[in-house]
Amino acid sequence: MVSSSHEALHHFGQKDTAGLIRNFQKLFHVPFPEPCGFAVLNTDLTEIEPVERRVDSLVRVNTKEGDYLLVLESQGKKDERKRGSWPYYLSYLYEEYRCEPVLIVMTQSSSTARWAAQPIRFGLPGWSSLVVRPMVLGPDNVPVITDEKEAELNVSLAVLSAITHGKGPRAAAILGPLAAALDTIDPTSAALFVQLVTSGLVDDQAKEIWRDLMSPVNYFFRHPVAEKTRDEGRIEERIKMTLRTLELRGLQVPDSVRLRVKACSDLDQLEVWSERAVRVTEAAELFDDDGV
């Protein structure tokens, strides 16, 4: 199952591509032509043969020196299948678009980052026919930004810092300076960054601190993107409450019931089901129109 933190990593690169490019220029000292346009592309790389291949995010970057494809992969753990998938992605994309693909792997795990950074070599010993060198952004090379002025100078990097370190206790120290820095940029961009950080945090203490920091920020709650994020949180809590109530009452919860509850995105309907969960005698009765 894809987690919210997985989605936050590659969506950061998709939503703030210019910031991502500036940051990997700074972190990797890799030259990249000045972008003059961006286009988010279809992530489906499936060919006629029934083998599905899909990247996490794919962004075309236009520069005066030519176009580049940023292949953004969010990696939660080691997966040896990627050693075959990633070269395939790059070769396919070059053939499809005839412009240079750049593989950027983003992770919240130091061990996964070290694994992903290893060059992928195909061919004879000492004579590689193909070499893939991913650019990896992870906890070991994305700085922990805990200084407010530093966060204000590069809000994008501060956001990336919070997400990348979102699994560990260091995330908590980043959030205060980041919250202050968000006040210095336009509300629309700030609301988007808040959504990404909210999704990217895994550490429980950090998530609680972030909720407290964001509660008084009026522009955040007025923004439709942020309202959607808040509603999604309420929906998730109501789903958990409904299923947990059934389980605590000792009722058997079939997969069909569990899947239907989890698939619901109507908060009002979930409210009805959570109330019914207190009194039904069988889990399937949640869906009875008469409310038995």
Residue pLDDT, tens place only, 152-186: 999 999 999 999 998 888 888 898 899 889 988 88
For residue 89, give every residue at least 6 positions away whose Cβ sits within 8 Å of its Cβ, in sequence order, or none. 45, 53, 55, 71, 101, 103
Report the pLDDT averaged over residues 176-197: 87
Residue 221: its pLDDT value, please? 47
Tell me the pairing of strands 100-106 and 135-137.
Answer: parallel
- The pTM (predicted TM-score) of the whole model is 0.62
Mean confidence (pLDDT) of the chain: 83
Q: Residue 260 belongs to what H/E stretch?
A: helix 255-263
Judged against a pLDDT cut of 70, whether residue 226 lies above it is answered with: no
Check residue 289 and give its pLDDT.
65
Res 291 pLDDT > 50: no
**DSSP secondary structure string for all residues of 176-234:** HHHHHHHTTS-HHHHHHHHHHHHHH---HHHHHHHHHHHTT-HHHHHSHHHHHHHHHHH
CA neighbours within 13 Å on the CB side: how many for 249?
A: 18
Report which of residues 245 and 129 the model is more confident about.
129
* pLDDT, position 290: 46
Predicted local confidence at residue 45, as pLDDT: 59
Q: What is the pLDDT of residue 100?
A: 93
Any bridge partners for residue 101, and if so which? 69
Percentage of the chain exceeding pLDDT 70: 84
Q: With a cut of 80, say whether residue 53 has pLDDT above it.
A: no
The dihedral formed by the CA atoms of 170, 196, 258 and 276, expressed in degrees to the nearest 10: 100
Q: What is the pLDDT of residue 35?
A: 82
Would the pLDDT of 218 be above 50?
Answer: no
Report the share of the chain in percent with pLDDT over 90. 34
Q: Which two tokens stand for residue 161?
A: 């810092």
What pLDDT sits at residue 47? 53
